[in-house]
């Protein structure tokens, strides 16, 4: 059964939930839109904890009632019904307690944000670029299945296909909280099309998932930004258009450079570039927080260590292995078609275990 400490926390959450609910109907709060939005967000975050708490209390109450019947009741039919109820309710307790423990751990405030997905070809030449292109299609397919919107903001194609580099904005519900597990080096093992002797080669591509920064997160000083405009170009230097619609922004204090050229509209490219620049500056600070987490968590899940080899895609054996959690699946073909939910679920479970350890709640 849940410890007194957890029950105490739940009672505290319930008091705060009622307070926030009352504040949301307070005219003075309703007239302050920023405060109202903040409180409404808190209310929605507390709601699942309260629902789980009420469900838990009801189950425990019913279990205690059934035990009382068994202890006091002589009637055989009543005792049988009480036994059946216990058999049904007792197995529900531990999973619900685990769920409550996780709900009580403060979630990363970045999890609800949109994200920027960045894929870069690594070692392996043309084969690495082809693999980067396949990773891009894998993620786009996955995002489509989640009803998330994807928008390419910049890309550089490989000489034989695929991409040397591609940057994609992903918008939707809780994007970063799901995709954050994908940051790191992805390795592919297979026989390249250019290999004449059938030898298996190893190539790599790096993936970075950045939580998108809002304007309130990062205030940009126009004096710190150098802006250049140029013609967008496609594969082989072909001109995409003849107007100076592509935008290059250089943040002078940090030296960060952002290029957006996939839109024909200069204003759209500028808007995308400013959004990406804010995100990259924000992530310089966010990375320090992630590094602190990585010191505590053995799984390296969601720590943003982009130099770590996290996954291997072995085509001859049809398997994909995530090295952080030693998980292997033999459904590589489906994975490359965007079926990566099982991988993400396994990573999420591993991180939840680490979070429980960090919080001292694991029993």
pLDDT, one tens digit per residue, over 99-111 is: 888 888 777 778 8
Q: Which residues contact 101 (CB under 8 A, 6 or more apart)?
A: 6, 356, 359, 361, 362
- DSSP one-letter code for 192: -
Query: Looking at residues 236-247, what average pLDDT do you find?
Result: 59
Coil vs helix vs strand at 166: strand
Give percent of the chain with pLDDT exceeding 70.
86
What's the burial of 61, exposed, middle or buried (CB within 10 Å: 0-12/13-18/19+)?
A: exposed
The per-residue pLDDT for range 133-158, each reduced to its tens digit, is: 999 999 999 999 999 999 998 889 99
**Domains in the chain and their CATH numbers?**
4-104 (1.20.58), 109-355 (3.30.70.1660)
The one-character DSSP state at 360 is T
d(CA 50, CA 251): 45
Contact 301, 354 (CB under 8 A): yes
What tens digit of pLDDT does each residue of 160-198 get? Answer: 999 999 999 999 988 999 999 898 899 999 998 767 677
């Amino acid at each position: 059964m849940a410890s007194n400490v957890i029950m105490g926390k739940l009672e505290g959450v319930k008091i705060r939930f009622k307070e926030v609910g009352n504040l949301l109907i307070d005219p003075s709060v309703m007239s302050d839109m920023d405060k109202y939005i903040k409180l409404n967000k808190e209310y929605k975050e507390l709601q699942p904890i309260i629902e789980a708490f009420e469900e838990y209390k009801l189950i425990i109450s019913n279990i205690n009632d059934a035990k009382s019947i068994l202890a006091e009741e002589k009637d055989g039919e009543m005792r049988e019904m009480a036994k059946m109820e216990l058999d049904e309710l007792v197995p529900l307790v531990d999973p619900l307690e685990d769920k409550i423990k996780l709900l009580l751990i403060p979630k990363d405030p970045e999890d609800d944000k949109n994200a920027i997905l960045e894929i870069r070809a690594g070692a392996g030449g043309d084969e690495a670029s082809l693999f980067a292109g396949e990773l891009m299609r894998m993620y786009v397919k996955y995002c489509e299945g989640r009803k998330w919107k994807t928008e390419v903001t910049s890309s550089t194609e490989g000489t034989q296909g695929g991409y040397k580099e591609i940057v994609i904005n992903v918008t939707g519900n809780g994007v970063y909280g799901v995709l954050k597990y994908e940051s790191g080096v992805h390795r592919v093992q297979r026989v390249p099309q250019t290999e004449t002797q059938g030898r298996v080669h190893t190539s790599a591509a790096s993936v970075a998932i950045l939580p998108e920064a809002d304007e309130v997160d990062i205030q940009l000083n126009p004096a710190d930004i150098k802006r250049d405009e140029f013609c967008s170009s496609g594969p082989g230097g072909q001109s995409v258009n003849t107007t100076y619609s592509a935008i290059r922004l250089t943040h002078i204090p940090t030296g960060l450079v952002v290029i957006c050229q996939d839109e024909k509209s200069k204003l759209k490219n500028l808007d995308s570039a400013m959004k990406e620049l804010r995100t990259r500056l924000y992530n310089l600070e966010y990375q320090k927080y992630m590094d602190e987490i990585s010191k505590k968590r053995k799984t390296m899940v969601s720590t943003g260590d982009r130099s770590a080899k996290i996954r291997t895609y072995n085509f001859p054996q049809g398997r994909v292995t995530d090295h952080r959690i030693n998980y292997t699946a033999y459904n590589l073909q489906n994975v490359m078609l965007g079926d990566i939910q099982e991988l993400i679920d396994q990573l999420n479970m591993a991180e939840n275990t680490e979070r429980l350890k960090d919080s001292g709640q694991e029993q």
